Amino acid sequence: MRCKRGSEFSVFRTPGLLAAGEVPTWFNSMLGGRTTLVVTTPTVHRLYGTQLVSALQHVGARVDVLVLECRETEKTLEQVERVCSRACDLGLRRDDIVVALGGGVCSDIVTVAASLIRRSVSHVRVPTTLVGQVDAGVGIKGAVNFGHKKSFLGVFHPPTAVAIDSVALATLPAPAIRDGIAEILKIALVHDASLFAGLEAFAPQLVAQRFQSETGDELIEQAIVAMLEELETNAYEHQTYRRLVDLGHTFGPRLEEAQGFGVTHGTTVAVDIALSTAIGVELGLLRPNDQRRILDVIRACGLPVWSQALTLALCHRAIVDAERHRGGALNLIVPCGIGSACVVPDAGSVAGVLHHALRRARAATVERMELATA
């Protein structure tokens, strides 16, 4: 027996939606007249809830709003059940819609719930964080933590549409902006040299102005396009375990764990990228000059290039984890130029240079500190 499923979705820029409730033209065809369950978080609801609901009502949607705490520690199956419960009470039908208005955690919970409700209902994402807009929100994955394992339960469930309004970033705290910029840097490094050049030129202003500029909008769009192009070839991750978008996500998880909950995802991605870059140089895949450019951009984004928690032992544990997740091979993504990356399948070759790479990565910090104190 053979069975095939295909789907398609579009990511729309929707300026004016969250600030003024302006109705995008596609709302009518996709949401018009349907029962729509909007899932959001307390803060986002207070800031943008009314505007989104009014835009939905404008196209005749019957709207209900469910406000959930969406912290990382709340990314649980219980939260998914809350969404399902409300959907059940509403009598949500297969052709009705769930909308995720919020950050990555909100999107994760809604994606899993929408996938399960009546064996999948459509969902629309309105990401309100930079990570959501350039990374988590435009992918097709959703997951929740389970039994102390991060994202142990999840789904592949493409959204019907994603609405991007950068005005939502204006109210974000700086660490949240940096979390997003780390993902932009990641996709730039593996896929788009000109996006990297954009970060090189504008990173400090982008962070300071929270992307509230034409340049900000352009770079977000460029990052989304790069991400979609990269994902499209292997959306369900069944083609290959060699995913360039895994750059920065090999040592990061263990680092996050070691540093406790205080640390943000973006800082571990940055430190991971810096180490992967050093590994690239040690393996002869990347020129030292490119390493310098990469580290400079990381710093310009306000992100760290090194962490004291990044020990040899931690890296070895992370390598074992990664092998487990990627079908038995490490498949480490390493920049091998600006805008292109290679896959190092073998854990042995990485382990062989790890000691030197760690020294190289740390040296960059020391050098910098010496410069600063000179």
Any idea which residues carry the catalytic annotation? 141
The residues near 57 (Cβ < 8 Å, ≥ 6 apart) are 63
Q: Are 101 and 39 in contact (CB under 8 A)?
A: yes
Please report, as a single letter, which amino acid is at residue 280. G
Q: What residue type is 189 in one-letter code?
A: L
Q: Which of 324, 133, 330 is nearest to 243 (CA)?
A: 330
6 binds a second copy (CB under 8 A): yes
- With CB under 8 A as the contact rule, the residue among 30, 67, 77, 351 that binds a second copy is 77
CB 62 within 8 A of CB 35: yes
Please tell me whether residue 29 binds a second copy under the rule CB under 8 A: no
Q: Which helix (H) or strand (E) holds 40?
A: strand 35-40
Backbone dihedral angles phi then psi of residue 149, each to the nearest 5 degrees: -105, 125
Written as one string, the DSSP assignment of 186-208 is HHHHHH-HHHHHHHHHHHHHHHH
Contact segment (CB under 8 A) with a second copy among 55-63, 76-84, 167-175, 301-309 equals: 76-84
Among 19, 67, 143, 309, interactor with a second copy by CB under 8 A: 143
Interaction of residue 89 with a second copy, rule CB under 8 A: yes
Only one of the segments 65-73, 208-216, 226-234, 264-272 lies at the binding site for a second copy (rule: CB under 8 A); that segment is 226-234
Q: Is 85 in the site for a second copy (CB under 8 A)?
A: yes
* Residue 30 sits in the site that holds a second copy (CB under 8 A): no
Residue 225 structure tokens = 């396009």
Minimum CB distance to a second copy smaller for 224 or for 300:
224
Closest approach of a second copy to the CB of residue 232, in Å: 6
Let me know: does 100 contact 67? Beta carbons within 8 Å.
no
Query: Which string of x and - marks every residue 244-283 that binds a second copy (by CB under 8 A)?
Result: ----------------------------------------
Rounded to whole angstroms, the Cα distance separating 240 from 17 reads 38
Per-residue interface string for the shown chain with a second copy, residues 99-138, x marking contact by CB under 8 A:
-------------x--xxxxxx-----------------x
Q: 53 exposed, middle or buried (CB, 10 Å; 0-12, 13-18, 19+)?
A: buried
- Residues 75, 125, 141, 360: which binds a second copy (CB under 8 A)? 141
How many residues contact a second copy, by CB under 8 A?
A: 52
Residue 228 in the binding site for a second copy (CB under 8 A): yes
**Which SS3 state, helix, strand or coil, does residue 141 take?**
strand
CB contact at 8 A, 266 and 182: yes
Distance CA 169, CA 133 (A): 10
Contact letters (x/-) for a second copy, 342-361, by CB under 8 A? --------------------
**Single residue of 242, 316, 317, 325 touching a second copy by CB under 8 A:** 325
Contact footprint for a second copy (CB under 8 A): 1-11, 77, 81, 84-85, 88-89, 91, 93-95, 112, 115-120, 138, 140-141, 143, 146-147, 149, 152-156, 158, 228, 231-232, 235-238, 324-325, 327-328
